[in-house]
Amino acid sequence: MSIATPDRTTAAQRGAGSNLALATAAFALTFWAWNLIGPLSKTYADRLDLDPTQVSILVAFPVLVGAVGRIPAGILTDRLGGRVMLTASCFVAIVPVLLVGLSGNSYAALLVSGFLLGVAGTSFAVGIPFVNAWYPPAKRGFATGVFGAGMGGTALSAFLTPRLVDGMGLLPTHLLMCAALGAMGLITWTFARNAPQWRASSEPALPRLKAVMKLKVTWQMSLLYAIAFGGFVAFSTYLPTMLVSAYDLAQTDAGLRAAGFSLAAVIARPAGGILSDRVGPLKVCLTSFFGAAFMAVILAFEPPLEIPAGTSFVLMALFLGLGTGGVFALVAELVDPARVGGVTGIVGAAGGLGGYFPPLIMGANYQANGDYTIGLLLLSVTALLVGLFTLKSFRKAPAPT
């Protein structure tokens, strides 16, 4: 790992804010693209006569590639740099977005195009090491937390995508997203820069991946992120479907409430990073897991929509958002900066996979029982157990300086 000279440190500080802003914007847009199918689940269900299980599979499919694809994306970022990979994330996502827009009359075609749409979700594993390199250790919780707020792209999608489809039609909405991704790719290539102290990894990809996978901390962080970020992804993608079926809301109303959920998590994520810099990521993660476990118990009994259900959904989002910020603050403390990209890829994949299975469980549960009680109670128990694991494993984690 190279040591930055004073001049390079100063230059990095001068460019840090603008590069953080660019990375966050690109992340938000690609996350919007990643979540194009979920807010339109009722449209597809009505058009194609889908049952709840088929809808849950359709909604979850983009999460799969977005999760697994983060592993090579993180490794390539260590090798090629964030500027190249952020640009590529935007341009590559154009193709599956277009295919989704063309596939609205075929369930099989939607599954295939939705599967490919997952590439848009790999941008997370690109942005974390990119912004991490721009900031000193004491500020990396802030940097990764602010970047993580780009997951607000799911809120934009939940709120705007159904309205754009109602106003413009299905294909024009997707063509508009294609144009936005192309513009963002050009902006990122033109204005983004890698940190002056960043150096490309020359280590071959496979040995590098094996080395990262041998680290105990990689799997510990993966478990934590599977709950924090996986819970966020599961709710942000499946919540519109859940609100329509459980509370009989219109698709646009469900999208509005799902956008509120995502927005609360987005606000909480940088707060989680900043709090981690001040009080330590362990306390932030514990608050996240135990708080989410409690909220899931309340929601399991399908309370009235606004209060307490609406309040509980917002608090759930806040707890999960805090956890997503806290986990990567812990990664920044425990992982060698030269390996952050590789570790981020695996941890990010675990987070995505954590969001892949709950919608499938929820859909099957609703089809079998007509409610979501079992799925939410399973979430509560899992979050509680992970909280206890976190307390045991990281009690001696480094204190913030």
What secondary structure does DSSP assign to 261-315, as a single string?
Answer: HHHHHHHHHHHHHHHHHHH-HHHHHHHHHHHHHHHHHHHHT---IIIIIIHHHHH
401, burial (CB in 10 Å: exposed 0-12, middle 13-18, buried 19+): exposed
Q: What is the pLDDT of residue 400?
A: 45
In angstroms, rounded to a whole number, what is the distance separating the alpha carbons of residues 363 and 236? 15
DSSP tag of 134: T
Alpha-carbon span 200 to 77, nearest angstrom: 9
With pLDDT > 70 as the criterion, what percentage of the chain qualifies?
95
Q: Is it the case that residue 3 has pLDDT exceeding 70?
A: no
More confident residue, 10 or 359: 359
pLDDT of 6 over the 70 cut: no
* Model confidence, pTM: 0.75
Q: What's the average model confidence in pLDDT over 338-347?
A: 78
pLDDT at 398 over 60: no
- Mean pLDDT, range 40-48, rounded to an integer: 91
Binning pLDDT at 50, 70 and 90, where does residue 396 land?
Answer: low
Q: How confident is the model at residue 49 (pLDDT cuts 50, 70, 90)?
A: very high
> Which residues contact residue 155 at a Cβ distance below 8 angstroms, ignoring those fewer than 6 apart?
236, 258, 259, 260, 261, 262, 263, 266
State mean pLDDT over 80-85: 93
pLDDT of residue 100: 96
More confident residue, 167 or 237: 167
State the pLDDT confidence band at 11, using cuts at 50, 70 and 90: very low
In whole angstroms, what is the distance from residue 283 CA to residue 270 CA?
A: 15
Residue pair 351/325 in contact by the 8 Å Cβ criterion = no
pLDDT at 401 over 50: no
Average pLDDT over all residues of the chain: 87
So what's the pLDDT on residue 397?
54
The reported pLDDT for the residue numbered 182 is: 98
> Residue 42 pLDDT > 90, yes or no?
no
Q: What is the mean pLDDT of residues 87-106?
A: 95
Residues 23 and 81 sit within 8 Å (Cβ to Cβ): no
Question: Average pLDDT for residues 354-371, to the nearest whole number?
Answer: 84
Asked if residue 12 has pLDDT above 60, the reply is: no
**Is the pLDDT assigned to residue 5 strictly greater than 70?**
no
pLDDT of the residue at 382: 94
Question: d(Cα 384, Cα 287) in Å, to the nearest integer?
Answer: 11
**Is a pLDDT exceeding 60 seen at residue 32?**
yes
Question: Residue 1 pLDDT > 70, yes or no?
Answer: no
Compute the average pLDDT of residues 224-253: 87
What is the radius of gyration, based on Cα positions, of the chain?
20
- Condensed to tens digits (0 to 9), the pLDDT of residues 264-278 reads 988 898 888 889 888
For residue 198, give the nearest of 6, 8, 23 by alpha carbon.
8
134 and 97 in contact (C-beta within 8 Å)? no
Cα–Cα distance, 151 to 34 (Å, whole number): 10
